[in-house]
Chains A and B, each alone.
Chain A
Amino acid sequence: MTTQQPPLSQEILAQCNQQAMEPWGSRKLRQSRQGSISTLRSSLSRDQQQQQHPRYPLLLPRGFLPIESSSRSPNISNPNSPFIRRDLVALTKRFSFGGWLQGSRASFSGLPLHQPVQLENTYKTEPEKGCLFKASKVQKLVQAMLDSYLDGASYNAASGSHLSQILSDMVKSKVKEISPPRYKLVCQVVVGQNRNQGLRVASRCLWDSQHDDFAVAMFQNHSLFTLVIVHGVYCE
């Protein structure tokens, strides 16, 4: 039983005729060009890799300390640099100097940098029972402070700003002593001269009204008036 091959299609015949009509050199160039594209790409990528990652160990001049023990500087590792001396010390692993901490960041002088403290999550979204910010207690405390500190005081333009800063720091430190744990405090103090001017102070907060609260205390005499607002905000 003989098998007959199917006849060539018209397209294939046209291609063969076209190739037969072309000069021999151009056909070979076309074929070689098609083959050279893939090799050109691979050679370029390889060269780039060689430039970025030279196969040389980390070289450091004497007396230099590595800034970060986990990084390799490509500038230093280039052997063709004119600044590298022949008596370089080759390093293949980290140094450990006196005063260094393994695995920690260090400044250029070799001293360890202060790491930011990371606190663990306590998963507490509400304060403990009985540990709420007590506005009435804070208000009595601040009012007593104002009455004792400002009794007989008079307004002075030069010392007004200093007085307001001292008052705010004092109020904050006193309230901090009696405030429950996990509460942030914001103390605002307004000190003004009493000259029968119109004044209005308003405050609004976007917070958790069940756990956060505020206290207000005011003092005034013939010369000055003082307003203190203390906000206690629970920190989750």
Chain B
Amino acid sequence: MDEFQLSEETVETTIGSSAYQQNRINQWTSSVVETSLNQLSKLGKPFKYIVTCIILQKNGAGLHTASSCFWDNTMDRSCTVRWENKTTYCIVCVFGLAV
């Protein structure tokens, strides 16, 4: 739950209500991913983290994401945050692998 809330807040503060801009999308994705990772590392839990961010312009195109993992089911977890505003979709996937 902590990771989920962290990612959600990160996306909200980074993109907010801004409209999709081609020249700013690189900065947004990098910022979302780096900020999420920094916040996750501050949690201090014994996990290796993989954070993936997809930012997509809304124009009616379809998108599907799937993940398949070979890991320890008892210790490792993942969470996905879906966020959108009027012009942009943002999907953040966080995988936590126990050390």
Q: Is the CB of B53 within 8 A of A176?
A: no
Contacting chain B: which of A55-63, A90-98, A227-235? A227-235
Q: Is there an interface contact between A197 and B57, defined as CB atoms closer than 8 Å?
A: yes
Distance, CA A172 to CA B99, complexed state (A): 21
Chain B residues, Cβ within 8 Å of A186: 50, 67, 69-71, 95, 97
In the assembled complex, the Cα of A207 lies from the Cα of B34 at a distance in Å of: 14
Residue of B with least CB distance to A230: B68
Bound CA–CA A186/B57 (angstroms): 26
In the complex the two chains form, what is the Cα distance from A212 to B65 in whole Å?
23
Q: Which of A116, A172, A189, A194 contacts B70 (CB 8 A)?
A: A172
The 6 closest A-B pairs by CB, nearest first: A202-B29, A164-B66, A168-B68, A195-B61, A185-B70, A198-B57
| Residues of A166-205 contacting chain B, CB below 8 A | 167-169, 171-172, 176, 184-205
The residue that B64 contacts in the complex, of A164, A202, A235, with Cβ under 8 A, is A164
Check B56 against A199 for contact (C-beta < 8 Å): yes
Stretch at the interface among A23-31, A137-145, A155-163: A155-163
Given known A-B contacts A184-B97, A201-B54, A206-B37, A212 and B48 have beta carbons under 8 A apart: yes
Shortest CB-to-CB span from B76 to chain A, Å, is 7
Residues of B contacting A161 in the complex (Cβ-Cβ under 8 angstroms): 64, 66
Determine the residue in chain B with the shortest Cβ distance to A203: B52
Residues 12-45 of B contacting A (Cβ, < 8 Å): 20, 22, 25-26, 28-30, 32-34, 36-37, 40-41
* Cβ B97 vs Cβ A233 within 8 A: yes
Whether, in the assembled complex, B5 has its beta carbon less than 8 Å from a beta carbon of chain A, the answer is no
Chain A contacts for B59, CB-based, 8 A: 195-197
Instruction: Indicate which residue in A184, A198, A229 contacts B69 across the interface (CB closer than 8 Å).
Output: A184
Answer whether residue A136 sits at the interface, using C-beta atoms and an 8 A cutoff.
no
Query: B28 to chain A: which residues have CB within 8 Å?
Result: 200
19 inter-chain pairs at a CB distance below 8 angstroms, sorted by A residue, are A116-B74, A168-B66, A184-B71, A185-B70, A189-B66, A190-B64, A192-B64, A193-B62, A198-B22, A199-B55, A200-B26, A202-B30, A202-B53, A203-B52, A206-B48, A207-B49, A207-B97, A233-B48, A235-B72
Check if A87 is an interface residue, CB within 8 A of chain B.
Answer: no
Instruction: Tell yes or no: A11 within 8 A of B by CB.
Output: no
Contact B40 A199 (CB under 8 A): no
Does A102 reach chain B (CB closer than 8 Å)? no
Contact of B33 with A188 in the complex, beta carbons under 8 Å: no
Is there contact, CB below 8 Å, between B54 and A199?
Answer: yes
Judged by a CB distance under 8 angstroms, whether B1 is at the interface is no
> A167 near B66 (CB under 8 angstroms)?
yes
